[in-house]
Structure 1
Amino acid sequence: MRFTLRQIEYFIATAEAGSITLASERIRVSQPSISTAISQLEIELNTQLFLRRHAQGLSLTPAGQKLLVQAKAVIEQVQNLYTTASEATEQVRGTLSLGCLLTFAPMLLPEVSHSFGAAFPGVQVRPTVADHSVLLAKLERAELDIALSYDLSVPEDFEFIPLAELPPYVQVAETDPLAARSAVTLDELAEHDFILLDLPLSRDYFLGLFAAAGVTPNIVGQIQHQEVIRTMVGNRYGYTLANVRPKNKAALDGRRLVSLRLAGEHRPMRIGLIRVGQQVSTRLVRSFEDHCRHLISDSYVPGMDAPILNLRRV
C-alpha cells in the first residue's frame, strides 16, 4: 500500500466540503498539500476521484463516491484501534466526535475542546456545531460520541447529564430607558417591541415563558442568529430574551448591551451532556464526561458570565 491515512483524510474532507479551498479552511491544511495528496491518491488508485469544475468546485465521480464510503469506514476502523488500545492500556487516546449546540458553541466549545486536549494530549477533539435536532440525529447514527446541548425534547432513549442552569434574562440597548432598571417583569415587557430568537426549541421556550405568565409579547422580529439579534437590540429595535451570558458586553457593531433580571420564577435552560442511553461508554467518553463535570457548573461556564452571579451587564 503506497497511500497514507492522511491522504484519505484529505480526500474525505474535500469530498464533504465540495472544494479544496473550503477543505483547507476546515481542517487547517494548506491547499497545495491537499491538492497534492488527492493527486497522489488518484495516481496510486489509477482512477479519477473528482470532476473539477472551476465555477462549481469539485464533485465526486462515481468511483469517488464509492471510495468515499470505504474511506470513511477505514478511518473509523483506525479510530477503533485507538479506542481498543486505550481501553486495554487505561490510556485516554483517540478522536472524540463532539457535538455542540450552535447557540452557545462560540462561548463554550473553544475552552472545553482545548482544556480536554491539554489534559489528554493523546486525544483529538473533532467538533460539530448544529441545532438540537441535528445533534440528536447524529448521536443516533453514531456520527457523534457525545454532545453539549440543552435538556429540551431529549428522547427517552438518550441520557442527559446536567451541568449548569441558565436562567432567562432581558437584554436591551445601553441607551434604552429600560437599561436604568435592575429588573423587569413580563407584564411590563408586553408594551415593548420583542425580537425573538427563532430557533425551534428556543422559540418554544421563550414563548412558553410568556404563555405561563398570561402575557402576549409584541413580536417585531423573528431571527435565527443571535449576533444579528444582539446588533438589532443594540440599535434600539427592541429587547430580547436570552439564557446564555457572553462575556462580550457589546454587539458586533460595537454598541453596548445591558442585561436585566427577569423578575419572577421562570424555568431555566439546563446545559448538559447528551449521549445514547444504552450505548456502552468508552474510556475516552467517560473521561470527557468527568472533565465537563469539573469544568462546567452554575458558578462557571466557559466563555460566559457565571449564571449564579446574576450579573446585570452582559
Structure 2
Amino acid sequence: MPHPFTLTQLSYFQAVARHESMTEAAARLNVSQSAVSTAMAQLERALGVQLFIRQRNRSVVLSAAGRRLAADVGVFLEHADALRESAQGVGESLSGPLSVGIFAPIAPFRLPHILAEFEARYPHVHVQFLEADLATLQKALYAGECEMALTYALGLGPGFETRLVDTIAPHVLVAADHPAAGRSAPVHLRDFASEPMIQLALPYSQQYYEEVFRAAGVTPYIRHRFYGYETVRSFVGQGHGYTVLNQRVAATTSAGGSTAALGIADDVPGIDVVLAWPERARLTRRAQAFAEVCEGLYRAIRPDAG
C-alpha cells in the first residue's frame, strides 16, 4: 500500500515547524512559498489532521497533531537518509552536508585541526558549524538544526546520548611575572585565596569552577567576571588577578600580556568533552565519520601550555 505522503512533504513540514513560518521555511529550502504551502495542504489532507494553526501575522504554530508529528519526523527523515547512504554502498565516498554544533569556549583550540583532517579524508562532505553557548546548542540539537555537538558535558538535559572525547584537568593561570609563575610543582588553590580572581562566568562553566573551589575547600576572592575566554586571559596577563581554566593555549594574550599555567595539586574534578546528539536520532555516516576523527585527534592535539 503506497504511503499517503512524500519525503519532500515531510522535509518541508520539518522546516515550517522549525521556523514557524512558511515564508522563512521556503527561503531556507530555496523553494517558492507556494510550493511549501501546497505541500503542507497536501500533507494535512493525506493525514486527515490539521498540523498548523495559521496566525494573522502569517506565522504558524503547531497544533497538537503537528507537535506529535514534529517529535517523530526528524528520526524518520534520518532513517531515510541512512537508507539512501546504505543503498549507495559503504565503499562509496561520503558526500553531502553535515551540521555540527560547537561550544564557543572550546571552538578555537582543537576544532581547526579536526576540520582540516576531516576535510582531507572526506573532501565531499560540506561541514557547517554552529558556535554557541550550551543552552543554544541543546535547542539546536532538539530542533534538528545540528546533527551532533562537540561540547562540555555540563548541564546536558535528559534525552541526549554522549560519547566521551576527552577529560581536561583545570589549571591555575597567572601573569608571567607573578611570583608563582616559575614554579614547576603543582600549586594549591588555597595559595591564591587572598588574591583577586578573574572568573570565566559562562552559564554552567561558572558552576563548574565553583565546584572546583569547593572540592579544594577554598572560597575565592572574585574581582571580575567575564563571558569571554580571551578577556579573562588578557586580564590575567596584565596582572589584574589569576584565574582557573581548562583549555591551555599560547602564553601571549591578545592584549599583549604573557601568562603561565600551573598544575593544581588539589583533588579537583576535570571537565568532560563529549559529542552529544538526541538519543532517538540515528547518526548519518557523515556524522559517524566526524565522531571518529574527533576521537582519534582530540587527545593527540595538546595546545601549548600557558
> Shorter-chain-normalised TM-score: which range?
0.7 to 0.9
Residue aligning to 2:108: 106
Q: Name the structure 2 match of 1:138.
A: 140
**Partner letter of residue 201 of structure 2?**
D
Residues 1:72 and 2:28 aligned together: yes
What is the distance in 1 between the residues matched to 2:182 and 2:292?
41
Tell me how far apart the structure 2 counterparts of residues 261 and 230 of structure 1 sit (CA, whole Å): 16
How far did residue 68 of structure 1 move? 2.7
Give a deviation string over 1:163-190, Cα, whole Å, max 9, x none. 1111000000101112122322111110
Show the counterpart of 2:216.
213
Which residue, out of 113, 117, 120, partners 2:119?
A: 117
- CA–CA distance in structure 2, aligned partners of residues 140 and 277 of structure 1: 10
CA change 1:82–1:279 in 2 (3 A) is: closer
| TM-score normalized by the length of structure 1 | 0.71
Residues 158-197 of structure 1: matches in 2 within 5 Å? 158-182=160-184, 183-197=186-200
Out of 94, 97, 114, which is 1:95 matched to? Answer: 97
In the TM superposition, what is the alpha-carbon distance from 1:222 to its structure 2 partner? 0.4
TM-score, structure 2 length as denominator? 0.72
The residue aligned with 1:260 is 262
Hey, what does 2:248 align to over in structure 1?
A: 245
SS of the residue aligned with 2:207?
helix
Q: Which amino acid in structure 2 is aligned with residue 167 of structure 1?
A: A
Contact 2:216/2:267 (<8 A) preserved: no
Report the alpha carbon displacement of residue 263 of structure 1 after superposing the two structures with TM: 1.1
Map of 1:291 onto structure 2: 293
Render the CA deviation track for 1:42-82: whole Å, top value 9, x for unaligned: xxxxxxxxxxxxxxxxxxxxxxx743311324589xx9998
* 1:208 aligned partner, one-letter code: E
1:71-118 deviation per Cα after TM superposition (whole angstroms, max 9, x unaligned): 324589xx9998664332133211110111100101222222222122
State how many pairs are aligned. Answer: 239
Structure 2 contact 154–205 (Cα < 8 Å) conserved: no
Determine if contact 2:103/2:150 at 8 Å carries over to the other structure: yes
Q: Does 2:301 align with 1:301?
A: yes
C-alpha distance in structure 2 between counterparts of 1:106 and 1:290, whole Å = 20
Paired letter, 2:143:
R
Structure 1 unaligned residues grouped into runs of 5+: 1-15, 17-64, 306-312
Equivalent residues of 1:82, 1:93 under 8 A apart: no
Residue 234 of structure 1 is matched in structure 2 by 237
| Aligned mates of 2:112, 2:295 — CA distance in 1 | 16
Read off the aligned partner of 1:245 and give its amino acid letter.
Answer: R
- Equivalent residue number for residue 58 of structure 2: none
Structure 1 residues 81 and 155, CA, compared in 2 at 3 Å: closer, same or farther?
closer
Rounded Cα–Cα distance in structure 2 between residues aligned with 1:66 and 1:276 = 25
Larger displacement relative to structure 2 (119-128 or 153-162)? 153-162
Distance 2:224 2:261 in 1: 19
One-letter amino acid matched to 1:171: L
- Aligned counterparts of 1:84 and 1:105: Cα–Cα separation in 2: 32
In structure 1, how many angstroms separate the alpha carbons of the residues matched to 2:86 and 2:188? 53
| CA distance, structure 1, for counterparts of residue 241 and residue 179 of structure 2 | 11
Amino acid paired to 1:254: G
Cα separation, 1, equivalents of 2:133 and 2:110? 15
- CA root-mean-square deviation: 2.4
